[in-house]
Amino acid sequence: MALITKAIRGTQDVLPADSYKWQHIEQTALSIARDYGYREIRTPVFEHTELFQRSVGETTDVVQKEMYTFEDKGGRSITLRPEGTAGAARCLLEHSLNNDALPVKVSYLTSCYRYEKPQAGRLREFHQFGVECFGAAAPQADAEVIALAHSVLENLGVTGVSLHLNSIGCPECRARYHAALKAYFEARKEELCETCRGRLDRNPMRILDCKSPVCSAIAADAPVMLDYLCDDCAAHFEAVKACLDTAEIAYSIDPHIVRGLDYYTRTVFEFVSDALGAQAVVCGGGRYDGLCEELGGPHIPSLGFGMGLERLLLVLEAKDASFPEPPRCEVYLAPMGEAAIKQCFAIATRLREGGVAVELDTVGRGLKAQMKYADKLHARYAIVVGDNELETGLAKLKDMETGEQTDIQLDDSLYTTLYNKSLDRQLAGMADLFNDSILGGAE
């Protein structure tokens, strides 16, 4: 019988053989975020459509072309989130988190949805690690968010990634820049794509982000925002760079970064990989001081970033980065007979409660088949328990890698022995991973 359906184009399954890599990335990112004072937030997968129209911007490709929008049974326009910041800002305002001590610092792991051509590392359902910092106006906050992203990439062992930095100013200095951009593009209006001709009056900066080769070529010689920064924005940008310099975080100034969403102001940045070709950005973010006001709240200077997990995983694999060992069975219990099954079940339960990964036959295999299965599981140890072992209270603990067998008592000492063996193995694995990722394999 044929399958009823397959996964929708632009989505993918994460199989058990790969999920441990995702868990390693996610746990590393959340752990580092906690070190920086960020606490996890979880928001709904869908929101009212106007939230994204107001925040992301009606002239962006995301809103114009890519959002998954539908009408629910109550006649409301609903959209699957295309990014994480708008929902976090809505949550902040709805629950008055801004009345707490500022800044409010949150992190999240989230799925996002955009209807675009599926490519390597760019799917219609994709996943992000993100942080948002609400209520911090100082330039050191910008540098701290960038340092957090840098620390995540460094701790994961990512190499070949460079930090690109720019400032797109505030509404005051951007108005002068918009006038200069409009004059520049107006002279070549007929060469622009239809979408960019529509952007010319509403938001000419969006033309800089157009993926059309023709528009990109025209935009290459356009005026740059750095030449139009007001004194305050210029001083802010210089202070951000000074903080990064003191932390020895290398960067390059890229005046062409504008990011793809309208809510950004002042500092914008991207971490770009040399391993992914056109889909090179693994992390992007910046400041969005006017977003909360745009959503009906008070003025709350804010900033953050999003890090694409699919792209990050591709970079790690392309660079042969180190991952922890996949989870494996520490102890396989092979019972022979009804009494042994009950005893092994009790042993397995207690070991699992102590944090030891244990497998126990549940399909009625014979002893030979059980040992083959234990080998397929890459079990570290195996213990055969039958009537004779129950009678004597003594079994053989087999090291599945070396074949060595030692006697083990079927009493409380069994748990202490296996706990210690499991702990020693876990600590050794953690030390190897730290050595590979942080020290580059140095002794």
Which tens digit of pLDDT belongs to each residue from 226-251? 999 999 999 999 999 999 999 999 99
| Bridge partner residues of 40 (DSSP) | 107
Angle at 287 between CA 105 and CA 129, to 5 degrees: 55
pLDDT value of position 385? 94
Per CATH, the number for 331-437 is: 3.40.50.800
CA distance 357 to 9: 36
pLDDT beyond 80 at 281: yes
d(C-alpha 150, C-alpha 134), whole Å: 20
When pLDDT is cut at 50, 70 and 90, the band that residue 261 belongs to is low
pLDDT for position 259: 73
Q: Does domain 16-170+230-318 have CATH number 3.30.930.10?
A: yes
- The predicted structure's pLDDT at residue 119: 81
The model's pTM is 0.86
Please check the confidence at residue 292 and state whether its pLDDT lies above 80.
Answer: yes
Of 51-65, 140-154, 294-308, the poorest mean pLDDT is in 51-65
pLDDT of residue 228: 93
Residue 440 has pLDDT above 50, yes or no: no
Sequence-separated (6 or more) residues with CB below 8 Å from residue 246: none
Per-residue pLDDT band for 278 (boundaries 50, 70, 90) equals low
Structure tokens of 17? 């053989």
Average pLDDT over residues 339-366: 92
DSSP 209-261: G---HHHHHHHTTS--GGGG--HHHHHHHHHHHHHHHHTT---EE-TT---SS
Structure confidence at residue 60 as a pLDDT band (50, 70, 90)? confident
pLDDT at 275 (0 to 100): 82
pLDDT over threshold 50, residue 435: no
Kindly state the average pLDDT of the residues 52-62.
78
Per-residue pLDDT at 27 exceeds 70: yes
Whether 18 shows a pLDDT value over 60: the answer reads yes
- Output the CA torsion sign for 197, 202, 208, 210: negative
Q: 407 pairs with which residues across the strands?
A: 396
| Percent of the chain topping pLDDT 90 | 65
Most confident range (mean pLDDT) of 89-98, 207-216, 250-259 is 89-98
What percent of the chain clears pLDDT 70, i.e. is strictly above it? 93
Domain with CATH 3.30.930.10 in the chain: 16-170+230-318
pLDDT at 429 over 60: no
**Four-residue CA torsion sign, 108, 114, 119, 125:** positive
* Residue 50: per-residue pLDDT: 93
φ/ψ (deg, to 5) at 74: -95, 5
Q: What's the whole-number average pLDDT of the chain?
A: 89
Nearest to 123 by CA among 111, 106, 133: 111
Q: How far apart are CA 248 and CA 39, in angstroms?
A: 26
Question: What is the reported pLDDT for 423?
Answer: 67
Give ranges for CATH 3.40.50.800 in the chain. 331-437
> For residue 260, what pLDDT band results from cuts at 50, 70 and 90?
low
